[in-house]
């Protein structure tokens, strides 16, 4: 049986850990508000951009020059680039584990093809560098601060390699922010691009320049937008996952401390009762 000193030392250790997890929860909650605002503000822009791209694509469908755009070239997927966005830090529950597991499943499903990993974040980088994975590039320290600059650089390199036929397709794998309690692992195909309005007729717009030329300017920006949107979604989802994990850790620490405190009180009570019995027994023996 552990001594009272050991039990009290354990309670102090758990209390110190609880203070750390509570502080991390508060920090993540404050950062989540800003990241969530960025995501909410970006979604309408992305939705309108997608609708505009579909309208221009429908207007330019009859132009033969559209098929010559290298970003629309559909080829057999022999070489695939997977852009994996993970966190730079842990303590976020199963946030990184779910992404890594999905990436491994993606590699397994494309076993007959060459999958190259573009790793964003230390957790994904550390995991796959210790294994036999084909890594085309890595970027760490920017998963929470990634801006248009990083998205533009990543998109430019992916488009350059795709246009040069070094790769046949590009996929994005990241966590989409749904709510504070829910983050959804999302796998999105970025290249080759496919834009369509479905069965809806395109609006009768009057373009100052040929729709095909306008489309050629929109497509690279669309790739950049998808990567930037993934960065923003990841930032909010990571803070939400860490806040939830730290809240659960704080509550678990309270439960453990309550159980230990109850156990300490029982041990003390048993010790006091034993001492009283010894005193009474000694006094009774002396009286006889």
The confidence score (pLDDT) of residue 109 equals 92
Considering the chain, what percentage of its residues have pLDDT values greater than 70?
Answer: 93
Distance CA 72, CA 52 (A): 17
The confidence score (pLDDT) of residue 140 equals 87
* Model confidence pLDDT, tens digit, residues 3-45: 777 778 888 888 898 899 999 989 888 888 888 899 999 889 8
Same-domain pairing of 193 and 166: yes
Give the β-pairing of 114-120 and 135-139: parallel
The confidence score (pLDDT) of residue 246 equals 92
Is residue 96 in a domain?
yes
CB burial class (10 A; 0-12, 13-18, 19+) of residue 127?
buried
* Model confidence pLDDT, tens digit, residues 171-226: 999 999 988 888 899 999 998 887 665 555 666 777 777 878 888 888 999 999 99
Is residue 181 in a domain?
yes
Our CA dihedral for 121, 127, 131, 136, rounded to 10 degrees, sits at -10
The confidence score (pLDDT) of residue 80 equals 94
Same-domain pairing of 195 and 276: no
Considering the chain, what percentage of its residues have pLDDT values greater than 90?
Answer: 35
Is the CB of residue 84 less than 8 Å from the CB of residue 170? Answer: no
Locus of tokens 């320049």: 209
Lowest mean pLDDT among 16-20, 72-76, 100-104, 283-287: 283-287
The confidence score (pLDDT) of residue 2 equals 65
Same-domain pairing of 250 and 108: no
The confidence score (pLDDT) of residue 168 equals 92
Same-domain pairing of 208 and 120: yes
CATH code, domain carrying 256: 1.10.287.80
Mean pLDDT computed over 43-53: 87
CATH code, domain carrying 194: 3.40.1380.10
The confidence score (pLDDT) of residue 271 equals 74
Alpha-helix residue ranges (DSSP H) falling in 70-121: 95-109
Same-domain pairing of 13 and 43: no
Q: In which domain, by residue range, is 249 found?
A: 4-22+245-281
Is residue 286 in a domain?
no
Same-domain pairing of 183 and 53: yes
The confidence score (pLDDT) of residue 197 equals 52
Is residue 122 in a domain?
yes
Is residue 256 in a domain?
yes
Is residue 262 in a domain?
yes
Same-domain pairing of 228 and 274: no
Total number of domains constituting the chain = 2
Mean pLDDT computed over 62-79: 82
Write the CA distances from 257 to 2, 10, 20, 91, integer angstroms: 15, 9, 15, 21
Same-domain pairing of 229 and 264: no
Q: What pTM was estimated for this model as a whole?
A: 0.83
Tokens (6 digits) for 275: 């001492």
Is residue 28 in a domain?
no
Write the CA distances from 177 to 83, 182, 207, integer angstroms: 18, 7, 36
Is residue 27 in a domain?
no
Same-domain pairing of 163 and 271: no
Tokens (6 digits) for 276: 């009283």
Looking at per-residue pLDDT, the higher value among 278 and 124 belongs to 124
Distance CA 4, CA 262 (A): 12
Mean pLDDT computed over 105-124: 92
Looking at per-residue pLDDT, the higher value among 19 and 279 belongs to 19
Same-domain pairing of 218 and 265: no
Locus of tokens 């306008």: 214
Same-domain pairing of 158 and 104: yes
Same-domain pairing of 99 and 150: yes
Looking at per-residue pLDDT, the higher value among 115 and 70 belongs to 115
């Amino acid at each position: 049986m552990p001594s009272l000193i050991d039990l009290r030392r354990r309670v102090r250790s758990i209390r110190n850990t609880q203070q750390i997890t509570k502080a991390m929860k508060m920090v993540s909650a404050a950062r989540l508000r800003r990241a969530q605002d960025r995501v909410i503000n970006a979604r309408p822009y992305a939705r309108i951009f997608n609708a505009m791209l579909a309208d221009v694509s429908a207007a330019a469908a009859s132009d033969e020059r559209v098929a010559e755009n290298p970003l629309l070239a559909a080829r057999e997927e022999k070489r695939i680039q997977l852009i994996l966005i993970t966190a730079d830090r842990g303590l976020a529950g199963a946030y990184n584990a779910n992404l890594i597991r999905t990436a491994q499943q993606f590699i397994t499903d494309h076993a007959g093809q060459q999958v190259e990993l573009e790793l964003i974040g230390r957790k994904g980088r550390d995991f796959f560098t210790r294994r036999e994975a084909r890594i085309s590039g890595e970027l760490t320290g920017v998963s929470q601060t990634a801006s248009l600059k990083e998205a533009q650089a990543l998109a430019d390199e992916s488009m350059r390699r795709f246009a040069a036929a070094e790769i046949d397709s590009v996929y994005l794998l990241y966590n989409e922010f749904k709510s504070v309690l829910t983050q959804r692992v999302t796998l999105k195909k970025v290249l080759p691009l496919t834009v369509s309005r479905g069965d809806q007729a395109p609006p009768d717009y009057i373009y100052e320049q040929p729709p095909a030329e306008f489309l050629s300017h929109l497509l690279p920006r669309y790739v950049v937008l998808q990567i930037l949107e993934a960065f923003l979604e990841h930032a909010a989802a990571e803070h939400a996952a860490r806040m939830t994990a730290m809240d659960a850790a704080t509550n678990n620490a309270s439960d453990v401390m309550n159980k230990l405190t109850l156990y300490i009180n029982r041990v003390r009570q048993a010790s006091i009762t034993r001492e009283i019995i010894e005193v009474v027994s000694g006094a009774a023996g002396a009286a006889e």
